[in-house]
Structure 1
């Protein structure tokens, strides 16, 4: 019994010694100050860990490439037939793409997934090139199909695992491989299709994952591919049917425009800079391909023009939809501008210039009315663009230029109905209330109406000279009265300066005061170089009196800074 008690006392003493030791060393689990690592030591440990991880990944990459070179050596030495070596190498590369898919599902393994995916791309693309150029195992179309299939799988892995670097590497590598194989194999159409596929794939990947920039790379490849196909169809050494570039250009055009419509009206995202730039590029490529094919005969340009009109009307329909119209966002500006451009291009292809000019003039009146009703300055700008286009197509601007500064002894312009219609609609658009206030446009909101005013004065003045010059100056011909013609031109220009100064008194055209004195300066220069050399005392009296009177009237009619313009 005594021995038992002695053992218990010894154990209690040992427990007390341990408790005393623990109390002396502080709370359990907390290291002492001597044991706490410094910041420098922590940073050094972190750096060592990063270097270790990088070395590990680099070692894995080198081992993977080493395995690929081992397969190549076995094939080169004849231990493995070429027909088996190429598929085996491809399977070896695809295995790493599969591992990238597997590793990408785990956050801690994403770096490895990116490396494995990148290695797979860097292995497959050279194998594909050598299978065509060196080993002659694949034809051009077959290699294009293989490139498209591999690109699709690699891009799918990138999208599913959110591996942006793999998407960039795949797109860039596939584009470069496509151009290399296009040149070496001669299968221009097959690889142009691959480039279009890459362009559309990169676009929808960006739309799906909200990545930035990849769509530009894909679009550049697609645009160059279709344009290159059209260029190669000219050369006899390339067996490319011109119709192939025509249909592929239309397919590219339709695919991008429809994708933009789905993006904005189904996914609810406004078009951006890329959509605006690419819409212009694909439209130019499609019209260029159609223009080239049209030289061989057929109604290809008519089909293209009709398609442009249909797309233009559809674009205006998207722009004037309630959601797009009331939002006043980028969607309205994009689709309304696209619709105007396509309608101008389509009608220019389908109709004679005079008929197209008449249609654009009437359309300008409609745009002016809608501008005031919907309070969109953009539509006022489109009205101005349509009037300028109509003036060019009808010849009104060219005839006015000839009437005001041309040589009357050679020929003299004549008025056409379409030119009179352009002048009438330009004047009508001046008196249709349009939107002239906008936070987006600021002080430039009235600029479209100012251009319409200048255009109206220019065309109407030129047409007056065109009609009156044969009656008063006996033009055209060597017996033309150059002095009387100079006086007539001076009269019209002086009247234009007075009209501009009078217009500046109204709230619709306050900016017209900027143009009144420049017109008078032009009249003064004209007096020196035309009226004095060609005029007679009687004609010079009339010219000087009119210019002097115009100077006085302009000075009196221009509103002072403290006077507010009146309502139009």
Structure 2
């Protein structure tokens, strides 16, 4: 709205306008006209986007004298520099590299000692990085820092591999220091490409020196430092791709180190300074750096876990924890301490999941991440701390606790974790192998189930009972049914094995009697599952009826028919036939069943 459109203010009838009001309004109108002129000039400059100095001068002249210098910062700059400027910058880089070769010439001529020449060359490279930091324009900063990169890393590689001046540890330290300097310049001047160049150059130089000097530990530590630095550096800017090469380099360094440290026959004589203790420390440092950083960042920012964190977590568990276990077994000691530390990390991950316990879409992935990580840590570290039967019992208790927590928090992920805990308990206690022996061994089962196995079976049934008693609404329950189905199958197999052992355990019945007992138990389980699937549909146990019938059929054909006696075959036929009749009828809908019965009626 122009000032010309502002109607003059009139005083009410009978009253005079305030003194000085007209002069104030005139001054205000003048200010508004000045602002309109400035905004119009700025919009025109943004539309025309001047690309030459003459156009820029004309746009500046069109603006009123009162426009502040901050407006100039809003004007777009040319997208690409002129060829003359680029060639000039390349020429400047050539001059900088010429100075580096002058130092090399003085060293080769013997004027400077090799050590002094290396120190002078590194100082020369660092000076140009600092000058790049202080450059007025980003393009100048980029070319100066690039020149520093072209000098520093080849110098470090040559002085360590060719001249042997820098020891492997010192060379690794120099690489980390130079990379940190270049990263600081790239961060300050927002030079993404320069940071990529410096990082890849540092990683490549590290691998070259590591292989040439046969020194693994210093450069593995350097890769860990570069990985941690790149991880936290990219949190501040959206340069997330830089995390991948540094993380993979750290993983590869730890993998090479742990493999060589535990190599049969001893690789310590070939590679310098290999130590089992330091190898274990670096392997665990890989796990601590990345998983600890992920946890701290997610707890600070309350953001969802991303694909890099998922993949790198799996890699550090496989490479870091797996390598630490391998080293501990090779050294013959330290497994208990390692297991205790990993178990404590599992408890810490459960504690880290508490802030994300509320079922919200944005934090659900974090809760799943921390709880699954905690479960992995506890299942991996537990067998190193306590005896296997006690671990199986504790895993069963954790399965029951996970089921209670799942029903309280309405989290399906905890139901799946309950199933994993209970499956681990069944395997660690020997219940799974014992049940397989009872069902498949031609001889009669003689060994009784272990106390830990019975405790695992009791935990299975208790978890299923708790689920039935406190199950959530059907839409939520439907997401939990696959885990419940697996738990129901394990419980049914364990109960069937116990029943067979009660009938035939410790005795020496003929093979026909043992086959009959197995057939009758499988038939009874199929009927029980069909009945439960009808009465308690939430468990979805009806899906296991036909697999049980298929297994029973195969067993009847290949075992009962082969070793059975007439009496046992009579009983087996009666039991199996009754199962084939009853189980499908129990699974059918009542309305369909009544219609079928009316059709069968005379």
* 2:251 paired with 1:223: yes
Q: Which of 485, 504, 507 is residue 450 of structure 1 equivalent to? A: 485
Q: Secondary structure at the match of 2:534?
A: coil
Cα distance change of structure 1 residues 268 and 200 upon mapping to structure 2, 3 Å threshold: same
Indicate whether 1:416 and 2:456 are aligned: no
Match of 1:199 among 215, 220, 227: 227
Among candidates 141, 159, 165, match of residue 193 of structure 2: 165
1:130 CA displacement: 0.8
CA contact (8 A) 1:75 1:82 kept: yes
Q: Deviations 1:70-102 (Å, cap 9, x if unpaired)?
A: 543454345554344333332332233223323
TM-score by length of 1: 0.82
Q: What residue number does 1:72 align with?
A: 104
The residue that corresponds to 2:18 in the other structure is none
Q: Report the counterpart of residue 290 of structure 2 in structure 1.
A: 256
Write out aligned runs for 1:43-192 (5 A): 51-52=83-84, 54-78=86-110, 80-103=112-135, 109-192=137-220
Cα distance in 1 for residues equivalent to 2:307 and 2:535? 37
311 and 523 in structure 1: CA distance in 2 versus 1, 3 angstrom threshold: same
On the 8 A contact 1:377/1:438 being kept in 2, the answer is no
Residue number among 524, 541, 557 corresponding to 1:512 in the alignment: 541
- How far did 1:391 drift? 0.7
Question: What is the rounded CA distance, in whole Å, between the counterparts of 1:247 and 1:142 in structure 2?
Answer: 20
Contact conserved, 2:302 with 2:363, CA < 8 A, in 1? no
**Which of residues 464, 467, 473 in structure 2 aligns to 1:430?**
464
Give the 3-state SS of the residue equivalent to 2:466 in structure 1.
coil
Of 395, 411, 414 in structure 2, the residue corresponding to residue 379 of structure 1 is 414
- Residue pair 2:131, 2:144 contacting (<8 A) in 1 also: yes
| Consecutive unaligned residues in structure 2, runs of 5 or more | 1-77, 593-602
Query: Which residue pairs with 1:340 in the alignment?
Result: 375
- In the alignment, what sits opposite 1:272? 306
- Deviation for aligned residue 1:506: 4.4
Deviation sequence 1:509-558 (CA, Å, 0-9, x none): 45322221122112111112111011111111111211211121111111
Deviation at 1:374, TM superposition (A): 0.6
Q: State the superposition RMSD in angstroms.
A: 2.9
- Cα distance, 1:151 vs structure 2: 1.4
1:242 equivalent in alignment to 2:261: no
- Structure 2 Cα separation of the partners of residues 562 and 74 of structure 1: 100
Structure 2 CA distance for partners of 1:161 and 1:520, relative to 1, 3 Å: same
**Structure 1 residue ranges without an equivalent (≥5):** 1-45, 564-568
1:377·1:436 contact (CA, 8 Å) conserved in 2? no
Cα separation, partners in 2 of 1:397 and 1:444, compared to 1, 3 Å: same
The separation in 2 between residues aligned to 1:162 and 1:424, in whole angstroms, is: 61
Q: Quick one: structure 1 residues 227 and 195, their matched pair in 2 at CA, closer, same or farther if it must change by over 3 Å?
A: same
How far apart, CA to CA, are the structure 2 residues paired with 1:230 and 1:510? 46
Equivalent residues of 1:371, 1:378 under 8 A apart: yes
* Equivalent residue, structure 1, for 2:5: none
Q: 1:407 matched to which residue of 2?
A: 442
Rounded Cα–Cα distance in structure 2 between residues aligned with 1:215 and 1:166: 15
| Equivalent position SS for 1:95 | helix
Other structure's SS at 1:98 match: helix
The Cα of 1:123 is off from its aligned counterpart by 2.1
Contact 2:227 2:247 in 1 (8 A): yes
2:336 to 286, 289, 302: 302
Quick one: structure 1 residues 437 and 413, their matched pair in 2 at CA, closer, same or farther if it must change by over 3 Å? farther
Q: CA offset at residue 168 of structure 1? A: 2.1
Q: How many aligned positions are there?
A: 507
Tell me the TM-score normalized by structure 2. Answer: 0.78
CA distance in 1 between partners of 2:505 and 2:402 (Å): 36
C-alpha contact 1:450 1:509 (8 A) present in aligned 2? no
Per-residue CA deviations over 1:460-500 (Å, capped at 9, x if unaligned) read 112222332236xx34xxxx511111111111222222222
Residue in structure 2 matching 1:361, options 391, 396, 408:
396
Counterparts in 2 of 1:140 and 1:560: CA distance versus 1, 3 Å: same
How big is the shift at 1:368?
A: 0.7
Q: 1:185 to 1:47 in 2, by over 3 A?
A: closer
2:190 aligned counterpart, secondary structure? coil
Per the alignment, do residues 159 and 449 of structure 1 end up closer, same or farther by CA in structure 2, a change over 3 Å counting?
same
Measured in 2, the distance between the counterparts of 1:130 and 1:561 equals 84
The separation in 1 between residues aligned to 2:473 and 2:105, in whole angstroms, is 74
1:390 counterpart SS class: helix
Deviations 1:432-461 (A, max 9, x none): 13666798x995431111111111111111
